[in-house]
């Protein structure tokens, strides 16, 4: 027997019903806020991803040579693709651009609970607007998407990467050293950051200041401990925007670094405690990537949501009640009523009513049992006597009641059962 590749999954119909329900709920939220969906290819030139994340990322990718001897990779995430798409095709479009996307991504990692080599990601970007309300709109969308799936327990942690980066930059460190220091802070590795500080002769008071800022967590009042700065002013206005947009479960966490050079200002992460230690389900912030891909500098903010992890967290809180249902299951009782039954199926489908019919030529009792198993709301029984009168028997599967109905009015009757 063939086995599916390690780190991948098969989704049975019931599981797909849950996934489709959740994806539709999240899409509806994005569209209702003026975001428009885009789609990009599953594979790209390898350089697109190494340009954004460095050559070391190749070890984590599904990278290969195609038949034209080109270096290709399955996408590990989609932000780089959006930037490539923007530079090549959307740069002249009216701003702001509010975009969202959904699809599979691939990383060659060690599979573990809730993390797979093939995983699905929802993401969104706002391109072209540099205001606190722009950042707030991105965070509000992420929050609303989570709530649309019914996830009740989550925490949004807000940081501002420019504060710590600004301190290192003010010490006249070269960019590569700033990136190194930010990496240690991102990994919460105080020992390596201490060694880094000593090696680069960073003033003790500055190191102490960075450690104090990094440990600032809580409500807006934690900003009182910061000196007056553009970052503090921005965060105060941003947090007010979040409140006005109705975003809940927020806290400031100035220790969030997200260790990537292209993040420039506000950064955020969303945790779902139901997942335990590995609880992060989303993350993002404002960043500067367009010039890296050949475009003019433009303010961008966005995020990515781990779709699979959201569903796991949601199911741990409470089961998702999303079942496959069909409006009508049509059962011909004899060979002579089979053509009439097919005509009814065609008419129902033409009215936008989901309809299936007996393909196995089974008995009525077996067909009723099968109809129950597929979640049919009603069963249309096409008998010889009833058919001769231009009628059928309609059975309500929820109540078990049944009645004789004229074929011409069967669609209206079934619509009334929804």
Tens-digit pLDDT profile for the chain (418 aa)?
899 999 999 999 999 999 999 999 999 999 999 999 999 999 999 999 988 877 778 889 999 999 999 999 999 999 999 999 999 999 999 999 999 999 999 999 887 777 899 999 999 999 999 999 999 999 999 999 999 999 999 999 999 887 877 778 888 888 788 878 887 777 777 788 888 888 888 888 877 888 888 888 999 988 888 877 788 899 999 999 999 999 988 999 988 876 566 788 899 999 999 998 889 999 999 998 999 889 999 999 999 999 999 999 999 999 998 777 899 999 999 999 999 999 999 999 999 999 999 999 999 999 999 999 999 999 999 999 999 999 999 999 999 999 999 999 999 999 887 6
Domain count, the chain: 2
93 and 116 share a domain?
Answer: yes
Give the tens place of pLDDT for each residue, 177-193. Answer: 887 888 777 777 778 88
CATH of the domain at 394: 3.40.50.800
285 and 179 share a domain?
Answer: yes
CATH of the domain at 226: 3.30.930.10
169 and 217 share a domain?
Answer: yes
202 and 337 share a domain?
Answer: no
CA angle 375, 380, 383 (to 5 degrees): 145
Instruction: List phi, psi (to 5°) of 404.
Output: -85, 135
In a domain, 134, yes or no: yes
Q: What whole-number distance in Å separates Cα of residue 238 and Cα of residue 229?
A: 14
Q: Write the CB contacts of 306 (distance below 8 Å, at least 6 apart in sequence).
A: 119, 121, 280, 281, 282
Q: What whole-number distance in Å separates Cα of residue 331 and Cα of residue 10?
A: 32
Domain that holds residue 107: 13-317
Which of 280, 300, 317 is the last residue in one of the domains?
A: 317
341 and 364 share a domain?
Answer: yes
For 257, the token pair is 């670094």
190 and 279 share a domain?
Answer: yes
In a domain, 136, yes or no: yes
344 and 404 share a domain?
Answer: yes
Strands (DSSP E) along 280-401, which ranges? 280-287, 300-306, 326-332, 355-357, 376-382, 391-396
229 and 294 share a domain?
Answer: yes
125 and 244 share a domain?
Answer: yes
Which of 295, 317, 339 is the last residue in one of the domains?
A: 317
Q: What whole-number distance in Å separates Cα of residue 91 and Cα of residue 288?
A: 15
Which of 289, 317, 345 is the last residue in one of the domains?
A: 317
59 and 178 share a domain?
Answer: yes
In a domain, 389, yes or no: yes
In a domain, 242, yes or no: yes
CB atoms within 10 A of CB 191: 8
In a domain, 30, yes or no: yes
Q: What whole-number distance in Å separates Cα of residue 305 and Cα of residue 121?
A: 6
For 393, the token pair is 């028997």
In a domain, 5, yes or no: no
153 and 135 share a domain?
Answer: yes
Give the tens place of pLDDT for each residue, 366-392. Answer: 999 999 999 999 999 999 999 999 999
62 and 113 share a domain?
Answer: yes
pTM (2 decimals)?
Answer: 0.88
């Amino acid at each position: 027997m063939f086995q599916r590749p390690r780190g991948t999954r098969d989704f049975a119909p019931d599981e797909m019903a849950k996934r489709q329900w959740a994806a539709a709920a999240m899409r509806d939220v994005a569209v209702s806020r003026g975001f428009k969906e885009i789609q990009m290819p599953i594979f790209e030139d390898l350089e697109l991803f190494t340009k954004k994340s460095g050559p070391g990322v190749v070890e984590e990718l599904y990278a290969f040579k195609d038949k034209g001897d080109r270096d290709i990779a399955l996408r590990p995430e989609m932000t780089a693709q959006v930037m490539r798409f923007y530079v090549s095709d959307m740069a002249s479009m009216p701003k702001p651009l509010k975009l969202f996307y959904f699809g599979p991504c691939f990383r060659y990692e060690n599979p573990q609970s809730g993390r797979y080599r093939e995983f699905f990601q929802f993401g969104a970007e706002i391109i072209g607007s540099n205001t606190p309300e722009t950042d707030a709109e991105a965070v509000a969308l992420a929050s609303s998407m989570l709530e649309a799936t019914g996830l009740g327990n989550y925490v949004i942690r807000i940081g501002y990467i420019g504060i710590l980066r600004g301190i290192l930059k003010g010490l006249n460190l070269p960019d590569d050293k700033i990136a190194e220091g930010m990496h240690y802070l991102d990994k919460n590795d105080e020992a390596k950051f201490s060694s880094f500080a000593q090696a680069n002769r960073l003033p003790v008071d500055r190191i102490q200041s960075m450690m104090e800022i990094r440990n600032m967590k809580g409500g807006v009042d934690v900003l009182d401990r910061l000196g007056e700065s553009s970052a503090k002013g921005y965060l105060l206005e941003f947090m007010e925007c979040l409140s006005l947009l109705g975003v809940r479960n927020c806290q400031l966490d100035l220790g969030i670094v997200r260790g990537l050079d292209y993040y420039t200002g506000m950064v955020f992460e969303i945790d779902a405690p139901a997942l335990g230690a590995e609880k992060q389900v989303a993350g993002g912030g404002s960043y500067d990537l367009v010039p890296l891909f050949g475009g003019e500098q433009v303010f961008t903010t966005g995020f990515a949501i781990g779709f699979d992890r959201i569903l796991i967290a949601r199911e741990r809180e409470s089961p998702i009640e999303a079942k496959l249902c069909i409006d009508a299951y049509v059962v011909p009782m004899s060979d002579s009523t089979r053509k009439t039954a097919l005509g009814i199926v065609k008419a129902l489908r033409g009215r936008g009513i989901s309809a299936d019919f007996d393909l196995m030529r089974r008995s009525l009792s077996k067909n009723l049992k099968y109809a129950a198993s597929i979640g049919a709301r009603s069963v249309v029984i096409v008998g010889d006597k009833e058919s001769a009168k231009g009628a059928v028997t309609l059975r309500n599967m929820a109540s078990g009641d049944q009645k004789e109905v004229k074929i011409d009015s069967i669609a209206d009757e079934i619509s009334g059962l929804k």
